[in-house]
């Protein structure tokens, strides 16, 4: 390997570290943050090209996939939605590919995500249920998640939030009952987020999860952990899973695509596309939708921590980082989260 390539890589690492050290201030300046990311990507991209030509590497390596806390992904999508702005309806399709991994760390199940406005009159419901007018014009997000095929398949898939079950009901025409959950922090932070979890009749190993309302618990200064958008690297792990099928999307110019490149995942805006297994499909005119995130969560009292990788790890897809770096200052500690949780007293006085 020639020295110039190594120099280039080191330069990229330096820029990444610089970005890391300035991240706290850059989060308030999205444009600068974008530029910094773009510069780093360019440097690594250049190094990659040199390696490709020098070692006769295939020009398109198998994309390695980063697993993202779905909650963080939601926030990412929220930002994407905001960035998308006035794009025509037909251009609002965003495809994000999630790969069900087999390596270490928390591996999130492949899932389909569909966003649509609950108040939208034109959007025909995918279900046969009659439309039900909501009291609040809340956005409804529908996700499909794979249930564990071993162990307790009754446990809904982890999604990065803490939920409290408040009801379960047999649904007409469905073999499985529907579970009703609301955010654990509903009382403490008036968080309106709710979700419904139901197993599919035709596929008991798949859950359909409907999310209503946005998490506001993270907006409180004392709220449990939530990550600002740029912190998505916090919740990413790399995986050496099987090469996925290529996504067929037509990119349009947007910061999203660069962000996707940065994250080594396929993120693009397209004028169409289909949703298939493992594909996240976002459509509709989302507003302030998008739930918050957390770096860890409890599910039925069990906490799961999301592994962390360095940005350089992300870029090189090494997935070998085991260091908790200085980015930590950006994130509320799990201790804080638990302190908050412990303050979430039982809802009394009903």
Partner DNA sequence: GCTATTTGACCTAC
Partner DNA sequence: GTAGGTCAAATAGC
Contact positions vs DNA (CB under 7 A)? 129-135, 163-169, 171-173, 178-180, 184, 194, 196, 212, 300-301, 341-342, 344-346, 350
When the beta carbons of 125 and 251 are compared against DNA, the nearer one is 125
Nearer to DNA, 168 or 326 (CB): 168
- Give whichever of 22 and 174 is closer to DNA, judged by the CB atom: 174
Would you say 199 or 234 has its CB closer to DNA? 199
Tell me whether residue 291 is exposed, middle or buried, using C-beta atoms within 10 angstroms of its C-beta: 0 to 12, 13 to 18, 19 or more: buried
Quote the Cα angle for 30-105-206, to 5°.
90
Nearer to DNA, 10 or 171 (CB): 171
Contact 144, 210 (CB under 8 A): no
**CB-based contacts of 191: which residues, under 8 Å, 6+ apart?**
183, 185, 213, 215, 216, 217
| Token code pair at residue 174 | 């469905």
User: Minimum distance between the CB of residue 235 and DNA, rounded to whole angstroms?
Assistant: 22
Nearest approach, Cβ of residue 347 and DNA (Å): 8
Written as six digits, the tokens of 88 are 């025509």
| Closest CB 132 distance from DNA, rounded Å | 4
| Residue whose structure tokens are 């999860």 | 209
Give Cβ neighbours of residue 100 (< 8 Å, ≥ 6 apart): 107, 108, 109, 110, 146, 241, 278
Give least dist CB 12 to DNA, A: 44
User: How far is CA 166 from its chain centroid?
Assistant: 25
From the CB of 290, what's the least distance to DNA, in Å?
A: 19
User: How far apart are CB 277 and DNA at their closest, in Å?
Assistant: 25
Distance CA 41, CA 67 (A): 19
CB of 126 to DNA, least distance (A): 14
Closest by Cα among 335, 339, 341, 340 to 299: 341
Q: Which is nearer to DNA, 57 or 171 (CB)?
A: 171
Greatest alpha-carbon pair distance for the chain in Å reads 71
Q: Which is nearer to DNA, 151 or 301 (CB)?
A: 301
């Amino acid at each position: 390997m020639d020295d110039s390539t190594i120099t280039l890589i080191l330069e990229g690492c330096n820029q990444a570290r610089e970005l890391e050290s300035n991240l706290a201030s850059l989060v308030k300046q999205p444009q600068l943050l974008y530029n910094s990311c773009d510069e780093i990507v360019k440097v690594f991209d250049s190094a990659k090209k040199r390696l490709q030509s020098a070692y006769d590497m295939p020009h398109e390596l198998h994309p390695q996939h980063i697993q993202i806390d779905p909650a963080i992904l939601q926030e990412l999508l929220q930002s994407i939605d905001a960035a998308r702005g006035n794009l025509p309806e037909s251009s609002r399709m965003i495809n994000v590919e999630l790969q069900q991994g087999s390596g270490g760390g928390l591996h999130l199940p492949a899932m389909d995500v569909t966003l649509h406005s609950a108040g939208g009159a034109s959007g025909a419901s995918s279900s046969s249920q009659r439309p039900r007018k909501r009291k609040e014009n809340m956005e409804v997000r529908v996700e499909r998640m794979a249930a564990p095929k071993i162990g307790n398949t009754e446990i809904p898939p982890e999604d990065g939030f803490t939920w409290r079950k408040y009801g379960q009901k047999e649904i007409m025409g469905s073999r499985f009952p529907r579970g009703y959950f609301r955010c654990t922090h509903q009382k403490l932070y008036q968080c309106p987020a709710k979700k419904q979890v139901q197993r599919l009749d035709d596929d008991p190993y798949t859950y359909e999860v409907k999310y209503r309302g946005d998490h506001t618990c993270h907006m409180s200064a004392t709220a449990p952990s939530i990550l600002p958008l740029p912190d998505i690297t916090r919740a990413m792990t790399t995986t050496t899973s099987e090469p996925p099928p290529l996504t067929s999307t037509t990119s349009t110019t947007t910061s999203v695509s660069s962000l996707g490149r940065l994250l080594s995942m396929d993120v693009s805006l397209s004028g169409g596309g289909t949703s298939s297994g493992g594909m996240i499909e976002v459509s509709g005119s989302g507003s302030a939708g998008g739930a918050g995130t957390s770096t860890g969560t409890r599910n039925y009292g069990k906490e799961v921590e999301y592994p962390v990788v360095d940005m350089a790890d992300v870029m090189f897809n090494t997935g070998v980082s085991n260091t908790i770096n200085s980015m930590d200052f950006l994130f509320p500690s799990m201790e804080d989260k638990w302190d908050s949780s412990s303050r979430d007293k039982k809802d009394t006085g009903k």
